[in-house]
């Protein structure tokens, strides 16, 4: 039986095709998540909370696991001068979710702007957090973008030390 939480209930109610995967309920890297799921790390997307310079809701940057968010690219895509990363604790306070479980699907009604890296547009499905540690969701990229009212932009670069092999 699949795990049930607000995200899976929402996906069921909206009749979005998805598959839920249970993982250890600890903070896992995207690379470790990919290993446990037996999938390419470029299919596992992580959600990064990014702060705007002026008051307003933070942005959720959804990027491939082996990448890091490029704050200059994200700022340019949103017409901002500069953006910054909160501490892990601040990200948890802003979202109400634990790091490792932050998901755009769990924050849909909370007013966060979602930007998905444009690399996702080359894929039919990606994996994202299910809104809690230990829950991973594979769903169509189009469905994720529609549900979260996301926009696509080139907002990330390959993390140093990562390779494409």
pLDDT in tens, 33-89: 999 999 999 999 999 999 998 777 899 999 999 999 999 999 999 999 999 999 999
Q: How far apart are CA 19 and CA 145, in angstroms?
A: 17
pLDDT digits (tens, 9 = 90+) for 101-143: 999 999 998 999 999 999 999 999 999 999 999 999 999 999 9
* CATH number, domain 6-157: 3.90.960.10
pLDDT at 142: 97
**The pLDDT of residue 4:** 83
Instruction: Pick the more confident residue, 4 or 135.
Output: 135
Give the CA distances from residue 150 to residues 25, 50, 72, 144, in Å, rounded to whole numbers and listed in that order: 27, 15, 19, 8
The arithmetic mean of pLDDT across residues 145-150, rounded, is 97
State the pLDDT at residue 164. 54
pTM of full prediction above 0.85: yes
7-106-158 Cα angle (round to 5) = 110
E strand segments, 66-155: 67-69, 113-117, 125-129, 135-140, 151-153
């Amino acid at each position: 039986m699949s795990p049930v939480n607000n995200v899976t209930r929402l996906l069921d109610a909206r009749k979005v095709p998805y598959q839920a995967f249970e993982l250890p309920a600890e903070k896992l890297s995207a690379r470790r998540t990919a290993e446990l799921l037996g999938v390419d790390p470029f299919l596992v997307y992580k959600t990064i909370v990014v702060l705007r310079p002026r008051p307003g809701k933070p942005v959720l940057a959804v990027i491939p696991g082996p990448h890091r968010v490029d704050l200059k690219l994200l700022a340019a895509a949103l017409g901002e001068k500069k953006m910054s990363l909160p501490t892990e604790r601040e990200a948890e306070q802003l979202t109400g979710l634990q790091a490792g479980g932050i998901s755009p699907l769990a924050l849909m009604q909370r007013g966060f702007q979602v930007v998905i890296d444009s690399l996702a547009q080359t894929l039919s499905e990606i994996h994202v957090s299910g809104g809690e540690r230990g829950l991973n969701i594979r769903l169509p990229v189009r469905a994720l973008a529609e549900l979260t009212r996301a926009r696509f932009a080139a907002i990330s670069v390959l993390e140093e030390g990562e390779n494409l092999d």
